[in-house]
Amino acid sequence: MMQTIPVTWMQMVITLLVIFLVAIKMPEVVHARDSVDIVNQLDSTFTLHCRSRDNDLIQHDITAGEDFAFSFNENIWGTTEFWCNFWWGNKSQEFTVWKGSDIRGTHKQICAQCMYYVRPDGFYVGQRNGPPPTFMDPWLT
């Protein structure tokens, strides 16, 4: 004779919550990793330093025509965010280059595979294999 184990109300709620979270995040788990690619379209080198709350990608000098790329998986809570500082001569800028989805799956970022172009007049952003990039921010002095 098989004996049943009583399931408490709290265990059932926790189980349903885990199933719900997995279900809403499943499309993001099976798609390609999120990525950011920053392309130097200046005629000289600039410096950048990108990081998130959990990852420091250290400072890099990006020479003319080169790029800096990184990819990652968004965390299950949808709170992954990366921001970068940029320096070029006496100019600088800082902004968020990627911000994840919220718990409902509403994407806060304009792209999942973001392309940033660093140019003399400022920064342009677009989606990999998407329409032409659009102007985003100027350099600050």
Bigger pLDDT: 99 vs 24 = 99
Would you say residue 100 has pLDDT above 90? no
Residues 6+ apart with CB under 8 A from 96: 81, 82, 83
Name the residue with higher pLDDT: 39 or 111.
Answer: 39
Amino acid at 24: I
If residue 98 lies in a helix (H) or strand (E), which one and from where to where?
Answer: strand 91-99
Tokens for 23, please give them: 């279900």
Q: Which domains does the chain have, with CATH numbers?
A: 32-137 (2.60.40)
Residue 140 has pLDDT above 70, yes or no: yes
Cα 21 to Cα 15, 29, 30, 31, 111, distances in angstroms = 10, 12, 14, 16, 22
- The tens digit of pLDDT for each residue in 41-82 reads 999 999 999 999 989 999 999 999 999 999 888 877 778 889
User: Which pLDDT score is estimated for 103?
Assistant: 52
pLDDT for 59 = 98
Terminal-to-terminal C-alpha distance of the chain = 79
Is the predicted pLDDT of residue 126 greater than 70, yes or no? yes
pLDDT tens, 4-44?
Answer: 666 687 777 776 766 665 555 555 454 547 889 999 999 99
Q: pTM of the entire structure?
A: 0.72
